[in-house]
């Protein structure tokens, strides 16, 4: 191993590598360092397992210059995006569970790295025989050698990296030793970034986007709450209790997931924050701070109501054709300030929205059954929205001292 190289790399890792906050940033710095040390890296491919409800694998491919990164089998693709860092391009790809059985993957050097742990192959001239199909593309880009290694990952998650070099004559044994040693140390930083990403993902998926971010950033003490003003949404699936008497547990879960799936997209698309699933109900908020104005927050909530209903209508058409019960729900909307944060004990916390205004939204939703109208909203919500609505009268709400004026944003009855 080259002593000067080891000193240079250790200095880079401590001063620059450890400062990277994302995998693209770390890969870019690493590849630039290797190239400056004579490795002539053209392409670096890092693949790792991840924990996410929609994907099982994540891949970052670094290119020394912006080029077409190539096609990906759409059957295994969840999402894809590119980053430019200087003249370099990083292709970020999220894969579903089928990616490991994809023929494109099994014909790649990564599959051999997974099986063998390490791989070094010379890349022949373009147009000649190659051990892997991707080598023809690399040969056309001037690459001469490929080195890949299975990394030591945290929690047993599979991680692999492959580097393609344009160095004339390929990589000699001494440089391969240096690369192997370098990647062993780089893995420590890769694991730290992946662990942080998984932590943020799990917090976001289970708590919501904003609550997850707050918890990840340290808002975890009992009673650590903040005031939050906004439009409060409470919705509830009609007839779910009765359905639970005749549906199998699997059918119940499928029904709930179908219902929640119809609402989550519109809620997020319009800027809402889903705070909790409560059985077959959803508690959400449209924070005024996100919109800069209470009227905009309320109107976003109304837009989400309509978009969700459109989705439910399309789903119900399919369910009717299949002989299944349709999904109807009620939505209660209110506007005000509630408390947002941690409640519970030192051993078990919950991050939620609490206070009188949340109770009002919940009770208004309960009136949608009595009045056979949805959505319904309070006078406070209507005033904040600045829209003319149909008054339906004042009604007593459980837990609320005075009667509450209830309005309908539109005059049509629910299906």
Say how many Å lie between the first and final Cα of the chain, rounded: 74
Are residues 30 and 79 both part of a single domain? yes
Print the domain residue range for 60.
Answer: 3-206
Determine, yes or no, domain membership for 36.
Answer: yes
Contact 355, 261 (CB under 8 A): no
Are residues 296 and 355 both part of a single domain? yes
The H-or-E segment that residue 295 falls in is: helix 294-321
Determine, yes or no, domain membership for 415.
Answer: no
Tokens of 68: 């077409």
Contact 290, 362 (CB under 8 A): no
Contact 29, 12 (CB under 8 A): yes
Are residues 184 and 46 both part of a single domain? yes
Determine, yes or no, domain membership for 413.
Answer: no
Residue 412 has a pLDDT of 39
- From first to last of its 415 residues, the chain has per-residue pLDDT tens of 578 999 999 999 999 999 999 999 999 999 999 999 999 999 999 998 887 777 778 889 999 998 888 888 888 888 899 989 999 999 998 888 766 677 888 888 989 998 999 999 999 999 999 999 999 999 999 999 999 999 987 667 789 999 999 999 999 999 999 999 999 999 989 988 888 888 888 877 777 777 778 877 777 777 778 888 999 999 999 887 777 778 888 888 999 999 999 999 999 999 999 888 888 999 999 999 999 999 999 999 999 999 999 999 999 999 999 988 899 999 999 999 888 788 878 778 777 778 888 999 999 999 999 999 999 999 999 999 999 999 999 999 988 888 999 999 973 333 3
- CB neighbour burial string for 279-303, b if at least 16 within 10 angstroms, e if fewer: ebbbbbbbbbeebeebbbbbbbbbb
The total of structural domains in the chain comes to 2
Are residues 251 and 153 both part of a single domain? no
Determine, yes or no, domain membership for 141.
Answer: yes
In whole angstroms, how large is the CA radius of gyration of the chain? 27
Q: Starting from the edge strand earliest in sequence, which strands make up the sheet with 57-63, in order?
A: 77-85, 88-95, 57-63, 41-49, 159-165, 145-150, 118-122
| Burial of residue 24, with CB atoms counted within 10 A of its CB: 0-12 exposed, 13-18 middle, 19 or more buried | buried
Determine, yes or no, domain membership for 414.
Answer: no
Alpha carbon distance 196, 316 (integer Å): 40
Contact 382, 389 (CB under 8 A): yes
Are residues 307 and 231 both part of a single domain? yes
Closest to 241 in 3D by CA, of 281, 275, 274: 281
Residue 243 has a pLDDT of 78
Predicted TM-score (pTM) of the model is: 0.71
Residue 415 has a pLDDT of 36
Are residues 262 and 366 both part of a single domain? yes
Looking at 188, 206, 224, the residue that finishes a domain is 206
Are residues 97 and 240 both part of a single domain? no
Closest to 43 in 3D by CA, of 100, 117, 123, 114: 123
Determine, yes or no, domain membership for 56.
Answer: yes
Looking at 140, 171, 206, the residue that finishes a domain is 206
Are residues 345 and 260 both part of a single domain? yes
Are residues 317 and 402 both part of a single domain? yes
Closest to 43 in 3D by CA, of 189, 159, 161: 161
Looking at 186, 206, 226, the residue that finishes a domain is 206
Strand 349-354 and strand 281-287: pairing?
unpaired
Are residues 277 and 355 both part of a single domain? yes
Residue 413 has a pLDDT of 39
């Amino acid at each position: 191993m080259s002593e000067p190289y080891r000193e240079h790399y250790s200095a880079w890792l401590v001063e620059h590598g450890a400062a990277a906050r994302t995998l693209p940033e770390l890969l870019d710095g690493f590849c630039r360092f290797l190239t400056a040390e004579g490795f002539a890296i053209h392409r670096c491919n890092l693949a790792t397992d991840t924990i996410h409800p929609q994907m099982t694998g994540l891949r970052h491919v670094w290119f020394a210059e912006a080029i077409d990164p190539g096609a990906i089998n759409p059957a295994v693709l969840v999402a894809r995006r590119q980053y430019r860092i200087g003249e370099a391009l990083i292709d970020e790809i999220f894969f579903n569970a089928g990616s490991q059985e994809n023929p494109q993957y099994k014909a790649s050097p990564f599959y051999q790295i997974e099986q063998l742990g390490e791989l070094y192959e010379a890349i022949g001239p373009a147009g000649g025989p190659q051990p892997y199909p991707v080598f023809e593309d690399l040969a056309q880009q001037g690459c001469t050698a490929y080195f890949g290694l299975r990394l030591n990952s945290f929690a047993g998650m599979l991680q692999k990296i492959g580097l393609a070099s344009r160095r004339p004559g390929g990589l000699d044994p001494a440089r391969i030793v240096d690369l192997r040693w370098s990647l062993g140390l780089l893995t420590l930083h890769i694991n730290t970034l992946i662990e942080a990403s998984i932590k943020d993902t799990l917090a976001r998926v289970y708590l919501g986007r904003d609550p997850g971010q707050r918890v990840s950033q340290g808002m975890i003490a009992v009673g650590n709450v903040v005031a939050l003003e906004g439009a409060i949404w409470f919705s509830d699936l009609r007839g779910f209790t009765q359905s639970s008497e005749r549906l199998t547990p699997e059918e119940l879960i499928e029904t709930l997931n179908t219902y929640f799936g119809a609402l989550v997209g519109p809620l997020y698309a319009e800027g809402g924050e889903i705070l909790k699933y409560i059985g077959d109900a959803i508690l959400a908020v449209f924070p005024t701070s996100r919109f800069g104005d209470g009227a905009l927050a309320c109107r976003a909530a109304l837009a989400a109501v309509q978009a969700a209903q459109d989705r439910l209508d399309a789903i119900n058409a399919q369910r009717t054709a299949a002989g299944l019960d349709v999904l109807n729900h009620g939505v209660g909307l209110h506007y005000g300030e509630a408390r947002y944060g941690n409640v519970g004990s030192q051993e078990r916390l919950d991050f939620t929205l609490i206070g009188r205004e949340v109770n009002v939204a919940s009770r208004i939703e309960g009136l949608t059954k009595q009045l056979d109208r949805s959505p319904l909203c309070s006078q406070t919500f209507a005033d904040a929205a600045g829209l003319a609505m149909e008054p339906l009268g004042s009604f007593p709400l459980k837990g609320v001292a005075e009667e509450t004026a209830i309005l309908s944003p539109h005059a049509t009855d629910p299906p």
